[in-house]
Amino acid sequence: MGKRIILAIVLLSASNAGFAQKTKKNKPRPQGTPDLWSEPADIESRDLLNGPGAESMKPDLSRVTFIKDQAGGGYSVNYRVRDGAGKIWVAKFRDESQPETAATRLVWAVGYMTEINYLIPCVKIEGTPPSAQKLKKCGDGFANVKFEARPKHVKRLENWRWADNVFKGTKEFQGLIVLMSLINNWDLKDDNNRIIFVPGGAGRRRELRYIISDLGATFGKTGGFLSRSRNRPESYAKSKFVDGVEGGRVRFAYSGKASDLFSNITVEQSKWIGAWLSRLNDTQIGDAFRAANYTPEEVQLLTGAVRARIDQLANLRE
């Protein structure tokens, strides 16, 4: 399973919703080992086309039916749906589907806990509400829909906070922040973070996985309300990443929510995540974008831009 960054339950603070809390149904809150990152010992062979769910977890598209609107979608339209095998998914539409699919694969590739998702270029969904008429179509189906898994055995718990969590200050957490700048994720708000409980069994430990559950505001340009963008490959490729180094700290050209997170990241921490990213080859990076149904020209542009940013991390000097 590889080396993991873990912390004992006793280190969890009350601000992270103490594990003795009761749920609304008065049941004890699940307990487990907090998990953010796991050493990706197989990084050179990781399949970024299929991502963390691999080929085996892909949705059965023989029949997909609408269940209900999914609350909390924010910018995107989200439906809860059932596939042909009876599995439940959250289907995401609009501009965030493609960048989130690619971002998830890159984040997972270097060892971080993520959602499991797949981009479906064209899918028919039965029983959708009238509001679905406004969504992008492809024949009698919907175009570029991201399917995000909702396995029965997994429990989705509360949000975790960027400014106050059990991993704060570790190189793995700092590396995650660097990664958010690398993919231009300008929407770093706590509502996009989630703790996922994965039960143990068969020799496996019970885990509390700290994930970023929404990576849709990526691969565009960071900035304020009027200047930022998502899913704009050309804007992403033209934007700056590293501004320089001062006093052993890296200055990132990041402009978005929670910008203060980037004020104290060292060269060593940046090079640590850069070293992991450097072990990905261009085919793997390109597969992350191919999985998101970008055009061949966009795949080439985005792959080159990501590689250039990885090289900037690798070449940092004190």
The predicted-structure confidence for 46-82, as pLDDT tens digits, reads as follows 999 999 999 999 999 999 999 999 876 567 899 999 9
The amino acid that residue 290 corresponds to is: R
What's CA 286's distance to the chain center, in Å? 17
pLDDT at 226: 85
The two three-digit tokens of residue 118, written as one number? 């797949």
pLDDT for 70 equals 85
pTM of the model: 0.91
- Give the pLDDT confidence score for residue 26 in this predicted structure: 62
**Which residues does the chain have with pLDDT short of 70?**
1-26, 72-74, 202
CB atoms within 10 A of CB 218: 26
Expressed as residue numbers, the domain containing 290 is 4-314
Give dist(CA 292, CA 99) in Å, integer: 7
What is the distance, to the nearest Å, from the Cα of residue 49 to the centroid of all Cα atoms in its chain? 15
117-123 and 141-149 strand pairing: antiparallel
Q: Is 91 strand, coil or helix?
A: strand
How many domains are there within the chain?
Answer: 1
Q: What are the DSSP calls for 232-285, one per residue?
A: -HHHHHHS--EEEEETTEEEE---STTGGGGTT-BHHHHHHHHHHHHTS-HHHH
CA–CA gap between residue 313 and residue 299 (Å, rounded): 21
**pLDDT at residue 10, as a whole number:** 34
